[in-house]
Amino acid sequence: MGAQVRNYGCATYQNEEDADIRKGPWTVEEDAILAEYVAIHGEGGWNAAARCAGLKRTGKSCRLRWLNYLRPDVRRGNITLQEQLLILELHSRWGNRWSKIAQYLPGRTDNEIKNYWRTRVQKQAKQLKCDVNSKQFRDAMRYIWMPRLVERIQAASGSSTGHSNYSSINHNGVPISNETGEINNPMIELVMPEPSGSSLESLDTQVSPVSDVTEYQNPTSVQNVSGLYPEGESDRWIEMEMQSNIVNGGESLESLWNEENIWFLQQQLM
């Protein structure tokens, strides 16, 4: 980052030459000016927008402010279960392609998804003492978190299919795609909107900030999940599931990742 000045408390300047360029938090007035400009001229041409609107901001800053905050269709608030599942699924497919992932979550910005990943998902990897990109962690996501999320989504939407269906995930855990590269996974279809503009409202199961991948409802039983796990490893994974239930005494789980479970998972993942 170098020696540039950061001061989010009040807008500041990088150096003498940039004394006309404001940095830091946007004011209400600046927001209004930018929103009005875009309403008249449309999106794009951000450098011109900054100049013509009289904003002492860089074009980049204007673009970011518009896309991440001022845009009328920006969704704010908790990431839903469906969105969590989509993020996990799409990240396993595309990696850190945040903008691409964001296309499938209407109203969510790449920045927001990136923040979610870093603050929630990477935190869990850290707790498990494994790299977020490691096979172990990906497996934990794929064979435990994601099926659980699916179950919760189904429970919340009143579906009675009875068990998670991840059968269209291949042996690498990647959802099987058709020739066009589209994901062909019934559970993902359940939650995945078109990349442009459609709404998630009908499936909008809001969750609290703590009710993300770190916390699960206790499944009533370890049910029909063997098909979810890697070939030849289902026993081991089912055992992990059962162990996590035993450890939690059948009560609803405060968190799957209490110390005991983390230790247990680490042993299993060795």
Partner DNA sequence: AAGCACTCCAACCGCGACTAA
Partner DNA sequence: CTTAGTCGCGGTTGGAGTGCT
List of residues contacting DNA (CB under 7 A)? 1-2, 4, 6-9, 14, 22-26, 44-48, 57-61, 63-65, 68-69, 76, 96-100, 110-112, 114-116, 118-120, 123, 209-210
Calculate ∠ Cα 184-186-191, nearest 5°.
100
CB 108 within 8 A of CB 75: yes
Task: List the end-to-end C-alpha distance of the chain, in Å, as a whole number.
Answer: 38
Q: Pick between residue 47 and residue 198 the one whose CB is nearest to DNA.
A: 47
Does residue 261 contact residue 247 with C-beta atoms inside 8 Å? yes
| Nearer to DNA among residue 116 and residue 216 (C-beta) | 116
The residue among 80, 147, 134, 141 whose CA lies nearest residue 112 is: 80
Whole-number minimum distance, CB 147 to DNA, in Å?
Answer: 23
Contact (CB, 8 A) for 98 and 87: no
Closer Cβ to DNA, 106 or 219, answer by number? 106
Closest approach of DNA to the CB of residue 201, in Å? 20
- Minimum distance from CB of 167 to DNA (Å)? 29
What are the φ/ψ torsions at residue 8 (nearest 5 degrees)? -80, -10
Residue whose CB is less far from DNA, 91 or 154: 91
In this structure, the chain runs to a length of 270
Rounded CA separation 264/128 (Å): 10
57/152 with CB nearer DNA: 57
- Taking the complex as a whole, the smallest distance from the CB of residue 136 to DNA amounts, in Å, to 20
The least CB distance from residue 229 to DNA, in Å, is 29
